[in-house]
Amino acid sequence: MKNLQQQFDRRPIDFDRNALWETISLPEKRRRPWWMVWFLGGTLAIFAITTALWRTTPMLGSWPINTSTQQGHTLQPIVINSVKKPPSTTTCSVKTTSYKSPSNTNVILVADDLSTTPNTVLLTTPLQQITLAKTTRLHPLISHEQASDQGSHEARQEQHHVPTLANPLRLSRQSPGQLSLPHAQVAPLTTVVPGLLRLETQMMPPMPIVHQSTQPVRQLARQRLLLGGGIGWHHHHQNFTAKSVTDRKLDYNFSAVEGFAYALQWTHQLNGSLYLFAQGQYTVLQNRWWTTDIHQILYVPPSGEAVETTVINTTYELYHQTSVWELGTGMGYRLPYRKWSVEGELALAYAIQQQQTGQFLNDNVELQSIITNPTPTRWWQPLRLWTDIGISRVLGASPWSVKVGAQLQVGANSPLNVEGQLAPVLPGQLYLKVGRQLRAKRK
Amino acid sequence: MPRSTTHSMRYDPLTDEELVRACLQGQRRAQRALYDRHVQAMYNTVIRYTYNRHDTEDILQQAFSKVFRYLHTYKSTSGTLRTWIRTICVRATLNHFQRRKLQFKPLTDAPVLHAKQTLPLEQLETDYIIKLIEQLPTHYRIIFNLYEIEGYSHKEIAKMTQMNVSSSRVYLTRAKQMLRRSITAFKSTPKDASL
């Protein structure tokens, strides 16, 4: 009866087509501007957040300074004054003093690096033993070779003033002979800065990668060019312990770096769910530096129970910005699930570092700007291997579709050289993404 | 010729698939071109069920609104665009009858006779056939159109009309019997069928 149906279809009709057309609602005309507004709004929001929120030009006074003390069981009175709110100025003074009071009272002036008022710890009986139980430091992964030269020079100068601190540590364990003169020396925190800068130049830690790679099966295109942008953060957690001949112990924790990225990805669908992709991305990271020192002081009087006092100082913040171009290629696998698409990718990327800028406190506790052009010392240092798993969904219809999704990425780059020891870095990133399909060819 | 129709003529060389893509980009003229390309067939389809111009235009308004609303779900691999649009129009027509409280009573006890006998419809002119179908009661007309003209199976018809398969067969058999009698009568009378 197909012929009959075609006869019916060709039958001339007499009705007002235009009148009927005017009554038909066309939702597409309303939906398209909405998606465009959504996309543009999202892009602007990402730009605003990433540039304004992380525009951390020196805000030394705005960063909260956390100081807490934990006091163990004690037989002796311990007075701890913690004055930790720094002035909102970049000129900071450091007082680092340790002396023995005339009244046989040991006074430890714990340096408050941003405040002119020192913290005072009064111990009313002679110290017999001071034990550094733990020193924890948080600082960024990024270091500067050029700045390290300058920092090393300053560090050497610092060592003349604080002979007991040849290393970035603020506290050092005293030898038994030194313990006969009960005191504890606390170095200015600024010595940390040259210490940090002694780190060899390393490439950027893996950046948040934003890419658009999936479409529902019904919209699969063999060639696709996707533009994406997103915000991201990655948290580096690295416990790095080194023991030197002097039996000093260093514990490093490398922590969060925030940033944003823009990426351009070209995808070539192989067959089924497998695809190849090439990706270029530009990433900017801005991070603050802060240092947390945990001082655990164990005091054992001649007769009596031990007294353990913990002083935690979170001290200063610096500004640092770095940007990197990264070119990578890899393979991905897409698994459609209802209207969603789950994808896994594996890629190898080459990073091209851009000029790094930042500010730090020098030994004179003055704010100093640094501009470095990092160059890798080994050919493999810019390489980065990363894998990710993500879920995304296409909203709207091609070519006006908007892709939204979330992706968790784990990468590995060249290890950091921290004081002569290579430390592995395994960053993880979780980010949201939004993208547009610019060109599509249907199969 | 209306101005919008004139401007949509540049979309005439496009295939249905290209036209759909243009429509999805929100191009109003492409949407108008798609409408112009298929409205005649859809009008002729719907009016075979309703035989009422006002109802037909109401149904087409709803159907084409749905077409443009769900155009992004159209898959070219599953059939032609016209078939897809016709499905929407037929379903909109059935919904129209359901709103009119039209229900298909089960006719399982009735004998199914001569169900597979073909009618000599193709030997008749289109307008005569239209007139013949119009004379059928609404229930029979719907089942006849769905099965003989649109090509749905009894299982699909049963699902669409919410009755069982055997009832669909009975409705179709009776419709054919009525048409056969009408054809015989038409052959013996002057043909002046017009709609």
DSSP-assigned letters across all residues of A314-343: EEEEEEEEEEEEEEEEEEEEEEEETTEEEE
Task: Name the band, by pLDDT with cuts 50, 70 and 90, for residue A40.
Answer: confident
pLDDT surpassing 70 at residue A120: no
Q: Report which of B139, B125, B127 is spatially closest to residue B174, judged by C-alpha positions.
A: B139
Weakest-pLDDT range from A346-355, A397-406, A424-433, B28-37? A424-433
The two structure tokens encoding residue A177: 């002979």
pLDDT surpassing 50 at residue A107: no
* A17 close to B (CB below 8 A): yes
pLDDT in tens, B1-23: 444 455 556 677 788 888 888 88
Q: Any idea of the CA torsion for B155, B161, B165, B169, to the nearest 10 degrees?
A: -110
Contact at CB, A28 and B60, closer than 8 angstroms: no
Chain B CB contacts of A26 under 8 Å are 28, 31, 65, 68
Chain B CB contacts of A399 under 8 Å are 21, 24-25
Minimal Cα–Cα distance from B126 to chain A, Å? 7
* A4 close to B (CB below 8 A): yes
Outline where A242-361 has alpha helix (H). none
Contact at CB, B24 and A398, closer than 8 angstroms: yes
Weakest-pLDDT range from A4-13, A420-429, A434-443? A434-443
pLDDT surpassing 70 at residue B113: no
Contact at CB, B53 and A24, closer than 8 angstroms: no
Contact at CB, A21 and B69, closer than 8 angstroms: no
Contact at CB, A15 and B26, closer than 8 angstroms: no
pLDDT surpassing 70 at residue A134: no
Chain B CB contacts of A215 under 8 Å are none
Mutate to test the interface with A, among B24, B35, B78 (most CBs of A within 10 A): B24
Minimal Cα–Cα distance from A4 to chain B, Å? 7
Chain B CB contacts of A23 under 8 Å are 57, 61
Contact at CB, A17 and B23, closer than 8 angstroms: no
Q: Is A112 left (phi over 0), alpha (psi -120 to 50) or beta?
A: beta
Question: What mean pLDDT value characterizes chain B?
Answer: 82
CA distance B189 to B183: 10
Q: HEC string of B26-64?
A: CCHHHHHHHHHHHHHHHHHHHHHHHCCHHHHHHHHHHHH
* A15 close to B (CB below 8 A): yes
In the sheet that holds A106-110, the strands lie side by side as A78-81, A119-123, A106-110, A97-100
The contacts of residue A364 (CB under 8 Å, 6+ apart) are none
Tokens 């009148």 label which residue? Answer: A19
B192 or A21: which carries more pLDDT confidence? A21
pLDDT in tens, B68-95: 988 988 988 888 999 999 999 999 999 9
> Residue A65 half-sphere exposure, CB side, CA atoms within 13 Å?
19
Outline where A49-144 has alpha helix (H). none
Cβ-count burial A352-377 (b if 16+ within 10 Å, e if not): ebbebebbbbbbebebbebebebebe
Contact at CB, A4 and B69, closer than 8 angstroms: no
CA distance A393 to A406: 9
Q: Return the CA Rg of chain A.
A: 30
Tokens 């312990």 label which residue? Answer: A241
* A52 close to B (CB below 8 A): no
CA distance B119 to A30: 48
B58 or A194: which carries more pLDDT confidence? B58
Q: Any idea of the CA torsion for B25, B28, B29, B30, to the nearest 10 degrees?
A: 40
The two structure tokens encoding residue A285: 């990271």
Minimal Cα–Cα distance from B111 to chain A, Å? 24
Please measure the distance between the N-terminal and C-terminal CA atoms of chain A and give it in whole angstroms: 32
Provide the whole-model pTM. Answer: 0.38
Task: Confirm if A316 and A87 have CB atoms less than 8 A apart.
Answer: no
CA A111, chain centre distance (Å): 27
Q: Report which of A436, A429, A423, A256 is spatially closest to residue A345, judged by C-alpha positions.
A: A429
- Closest CB to A400: pick one of B17, B25, B45: B25
DSSP state, residue B128 = H
Contact at CB, A8 and B32, closer than 8 angstroms: no
Q: How far is residue B68 from each of residues A15, A331, B46, B122, measured CA to CA in Å?
A: 21, 37, 18, 34
Minimal Cα–Cα distance from A46 to chain B, Å? 26
Inter-chain contacts counted by CB atoms under 8 A, chains A and B: 102
* A30 close to B (CB below 8 A): no
The contacts of residue A278 (CB under 8 Å, 6+ apart) are A265, A266, A327, A328, A329
pLDDT surpassing 60 at residue A160: no
- Closest CB to B44: pick one of A1, A13, A399: A13
Mutate to test the interface with B, among A2, A3, A5 (most CBs of B within 10 A): A5
**β-bridge partners, A298:** A308
Contact at CB, A4 and B122, closer than 8 angstroms: yes
Angle at B93 between CA B56 and CA A30, to 5 degrees: 80
* A27 close to B (CB below 8 A): yes
Contact at CB, B68 and A26, closer than 8 angstroms: yes
Question: What mean pLDDT value characterizes chain A?
Answer: 56
CA distance A120 to A350: 50
- Closest CB to B149: pick one of A4, A32, A397: A4
ipTM for the predicted complex: 0.84
Q: What is the pLDDT of residue A192?
A: 32
CA distance A329 to A323: 20
Tell me which chain A residue has its CA closest to the CA of residue B2: A18
DSSP state, residue A204 = P
Q: What is the pLDDT of residue B131?
A: 85
* A438 close to B (CB below 8 A): no
> Residue A343 half-sphere exposure, CB side, CA atoms within 13 Å?
29
The two structure tokens encoding residue A66: 């956390």
A264 or B93: which carries more pLDDT confidence? B93
Q: What is the pLDDT of residue A408?
A: 74
Tokens 């080994």 label which residue? Answer: A378
Contact at CB, A21 and B28, closer than 8 angstroms: no
Q: Strand, helix or coil at A275? A: strand
Q: What are phi and psi of A435, to 5 degrees?
A: -150, 170
Q: Is the bond leading into A399 cis (omega within 30 degrees of zero)?
A: yes
Minimal Cα–Cα distance from B144 to chain A, Å? 11
Q: What are phi and psi of A289, to 5 degrees?
A: -105, 135
* A380 close to B (CB below 8 A): no
Minimal Cα–Cα distance from B41 to chain A, Å? 4
Contact at CB, B43 and A2, closer than 8 angstroms: no
Instruction: Compute how many other C-beta atoms are within 10 angstroms of the C-beta atom of residue A148.
Output: 20
In which element (H, E) is residue A179 found?
Answer: helix A176-179
pLDDT surpassing 80 at residue A13: yes
Please measure the distance between the N-terminal and C-terminal CA atoms of chain B and give it in whole angstroms: 24
Strand extents, DSSP E, A124-238: 136-139, 221-235
- Range B25-30 contact pairs with CB under 8 angstroms and sequence separation of 24 or more: B25/A32, B25/A399, B25/A400, B26/A28, B26/A29, B26/A31, B26/A32, B26/A400, B28/A26, B28/A29, B29/B4
Task: Name the band, by pLDDT with cuts 50, 70 and 90, for residue A119.
Answer: very low
